[in-house]
Structure formats: C-alpha cells, structure tokens
Structure 1
Amino acid sequence: MHTVALAVTDGMLHFELSLATEVFGSDLTHIVDPWYRFALCGPGPVQVGRFHLQPDHGLDHLPNADTVIVPGWADVAQNPPAELVDAVRTAHGEGARVVSLCTGAFVLAAAGLLDGKRATTHWAHARELARRHPKVSVDPGVLYVDNGDVLTSAGKAAALDLCLHLVRLDHGSSNANKIARRLVVPPHRDGGQAQFIATPVPAPGHHPLAELLPWALQRLDEPLTVEDLARQARMSSRHLSRHFKSLTGTTPLQWLHTQRIRHAQELLETTNDTVDTIATATGMGTATTLRRHFHRTVGVPPDTYRRTFRSPTHPGSGNDARHRRHEA
C-alpha cells in the first residue's frame, strides 16, 4: 500500500492542506482497493489558520512515506522551519516522491530539491521564489510541474489538479476520473495550462462552451477542426479561441489533443481493443500516430501503460501502480 504523508507545521495554508487530505486521506477503497495509507506528520500540535491539528506522527516519519506532500506555506517572507526542511530533504534522499502545493515550493527550494529544476508556485509569489532561490527555474504561468520525483503546483484549484495528477500516475486515468467526478470537478487539466484563467473550475452549464465541450467529447473519433467547433458553437473561430483561452487556459486544438489522449488512456485500461482500434476511436488515425503522441504526452508507450493500469477484470492484467513512476 502506497503511503502518502502530509507534512504540517504552524503557518500552513488550510485550503491546500484540506485538498490533499480530502483526496488522499478519504476512504476511497470502493473506487481503488487498496487506496493510499495516509499519515499526518508534524512536530507536535499545530495551528493552521483557526484550526488546531494533532498529527499522527512526528516529522521523523516522513522518510517512511512513498510520497510526501508539503501544503502551502503562509508567510513566505519568513524562512520555513529548519526541522521541516531537513525532514523533507531526508525523505527525498530516502526515495520519497516529494510534492509541494502552492507556496509549499518555498520549503522544497530551501531543501535544495528544486535546484536546477523547473518549478512553479502561486503566480503572486513566483518572483520572490526566483529571487531567493536563483538556481530554480521558476515558471509562474503553469498549473503544475512534474519532474518525476519532485512535483510543484500553483495555488488553490491547481493544487487539486496536481493531486488528481498523482492519482492518475499511481492508479490510472479511469480511476482519477472517478475521483474527479466524486469531487465534482473537471477530470483533467494539463499541467502546462496557464494559471491565468477566468474560470479555473467552471460550473457545468454556466459558461459559453457548456454545450460545445460535451458535443466534442462525443466526437473524438472525428477529424474535428477549429472551424467545426466554431460552427457548432455558433461563433467565429476568433471568439471561440478567446473563450477557450479564458475558460481552459489553452487552445481548442490543444484541448482536443488532451481529451483524445485521456480517452486513449481509459480505453487502454478498460478494454482489450488493439492500439489500431484505439487510434481510430480517438481520432489519431493510425497506431503510429497514437504511439508517438501518447509517449510524448504520458511518458510511456501505450503498451507499457496498458500493462501498468489494465483493469483487473481483464485476464492477465496487472495493476501494480505503485511502480508507475519508476517505469516512466
């Protein structure tokens, strides 16, 4: 069972802490069994906003975890506690995957885990992170950055995007989508999308593309163009692109590409369809094209992905998702 440890001290941001607890600390064995083993780790009783928390373990427990998550750090003008920084550094040295949410990136940077790496944080604090840690390549314009064993996210809704990304890495796209539906949020926003979007988590039926997006999702096998989408939405291509940028932070064609890859992931997990059949069903045309785009986006070929995340209902399938990040 994969252990997720949430590292907490006084002064953490309660929103990001609560998101991580909701995703990894809830009993979701009815969706994925086994689910994560969750541990709240701190130096003792801690105060987070108006809340008082009693951790399950001390910070010295972090090296025992497979994944360590550091929530947002409230006062970025102050150096994070040395004991927290040391514990996170030690956990990474012991092989843990280390994740920061929002300004938790300041803790990872102080531990030296972001040196020479691309990272992100809440856009309002990105300049300060870059000033204090010049060895870090700070990208203030993306939702999250995945460096394999070190991951960082922007703030608020982007922290949830990264949590769902972790579930997708560990348990596959199909299960991550089930968790997203439970949380009533869109199942996937790519980490490269912009932080500056007008509606980070749009309410169903309350935006200009509310009818278009489901229509397009039902036609991923068709060679849709921007003009096709604009015609269906009854607006010009220019207006369509503006709405897509405002709503999703990306372009219509990039959004379509992402949905096709995610659909391919689900088909690989839940069916015995050949890669050729899946290429047709997702609008990729040929198996060669699907393999090229899939490998570039997901990090592994379709066949490797299927072996890792194949549903247990299919004969000969395996789902040892804990080793997904090593295989990638």
Structure 2
Amino acid sequence: MNNTLLNTLKAAREGLAERLDSMTLPAEIPHGDMPGDKVLITESHVAKAKTILPALVDKMIAALENKPLQRCVLSVCGGSGVGKSETASLLGWYLGQLGAKSYILSGDNYPHRIPEYNDAERLRVFRDTGLKGLVAAGLHTAQVSEQLHQLMEEDKDADPALCAEYGWLSAYQAAGRRGLKGYLGTPNEIDFDRVNSIIAQFQAGAEQISLKRMGRRPSELWAETVDFSETSVLIIEWTHSNNDHLAGVDLPVLLNSTPAETMAHRRERNRDGKVDSPFTTMVLEIEQGLLASQAHKAAVILSKSGELLSYAEYQALMANA
C-alpha cells in the first residue's frame, strides 16, 4: 500500500475533531466478528470514540513512519461492560470514513473452550487448587469436606463473607484464587499463538487470512477466510488485547473502569436485581488486576467518564478507587 495509510492519516489530522462532529452515523455499522454479537451504541460511546481518535491518529502516524507495508494493529481492551465492542466499532467506522479501511477482530473467538466449558474449567481450577491448598495446610477433615461440599452445592465456596464462619475457608479461597490467577488470561485459557499468527500475517501484508469462528455450542466452530487486501487497520477488541502473551499490537487502547464502576454497571444491567456470584466477582477482580498490571503499555487510556488519562493519572485514580 506504499504510504497510503500514513498520508491518509496526515491529511485527516488537521481539523479532525470538527470532521468527526460533522459525520452522521448510520443505523448500523460493522462490528466485531464474534458470531451472534450485537452492539448497542449510545451517545456516550460516540463521545468516547471522538475523544480517543485524535490522540490515536497522532500515535498511528508516529508508528507508521518506518513501516513499509503501512499496516497498523490497534487494540481496545478493558473490563466487563466498559464498551469495548462499541468503541472498537466506532473507531473502525470513523477510520473508514477518513479513508483507512479497518477490520474488527473479536478476541472472544480464541479461548480454547466455548464459554460454557470455559466457565466450568475456571470453576474446576479454583476448586481443585483450593482443595489442594486445604490439604497442604493440614486443614482438610471429614467435617470440613462435608461443609465444603455443601458450600460448593450452593455456589458459596468463593464468598469471602463466610470465612469468619468457616475458619478453614480463607486458606481454601486463597489457594483457589492463586490457581485461578494461573489460568485466567494465560495460554492455558486462550490460544494466544493463533491470535499472534493472525497479527503477524496481517503485519506481513497477507491479503487472505483464515480466522476462527466460535459460537456457544461445541458444534459451532469453523474457520472463515477474510480478504484483507484493502484493509490497512486491524482492530482487536478484547479484554486481553493488551496481554503480555499477545505480540504485534502497535497501539493498545485501555478503556478503564474502577472496580466500583464495573460492579455498578453489572448491577444496573441485571434486570432481576441479582448481583454477581462470589466466584464471578473473584474472576472480575483477577481480570481487573491483570488489566492494571498491563496498563503501562497502553498508548491511550480513557476513564469511564470519558477523559483521557496519562499513566500517572490512571495510577492515582486506581489507587484511590
């Protein structure tokens, strides 16, 4: 593509905010390629995308200066409910309107297991390593085994509020949490090699790339060859798209939310008023910690309220959360 993308972005940089404001969004825009996914774009998502893009374009120009193939890989990461899919869709659409055709890849296609089986494996890892921890601590007795079985049946074995009632439970949960941290966002859970291969092929100028498709049932698994001959920007939307196991991303974008903001969103989204189970809450906390440990690599960080943050500002925000 010679220097088409670089020239396109340089031409778009001047007065970009005004150009974005003048664009009218259609009723539907292209979104991530996870089967069955839908995006519901709000004014808040639009405002955030318009805030991110000018900062991102400047960084894309810098990244492309020494790239002969003129392809750029962006990623949009963040916790549950922060608007990754919507924001990635908008960034892709706006870039397309500026003349930079984009493709949005959903990382949710690349766990080793379908969602139901992956959820079950997460729980198995937590419980198996928790039980091993109990045994190693010399706390496993017939009575404890019976109590633990009952808590498992009630899905309460990850509830920290019960540790005062069951003196052994904190040791079980601590060991289980350590085991779960060794699974979530690692190659044990996710086929990072496959995603890295896709990124490498795109960066090398491949015109046709085979992409994985995964639904919610074991039979819903297939590959689709996608034409990238006219595509200059690959956008990966995914919780783990700033992960240390991922290679070849030029510019990660972190959509931040504090633990309290994440929980408030999930409560609001639950129509029946139920909060997350203790185990789901633990998973979200571990994922939040993983995002925080990788935030220093983000090229752009946006707060939940839509403000651009430096890494130092992000650290201060999270320290006070």
Q: Same fold (TM over 0.5)?
A: no
Larger Rg belongs to: 2
Relative to the length of structure 1, the TM-score reads 0.25
Relative to the length of structure 2, the TM-score reads 0.25
Which structure is higher in RCO with an 8 Å CA cutoff and minimum separation 6? 2
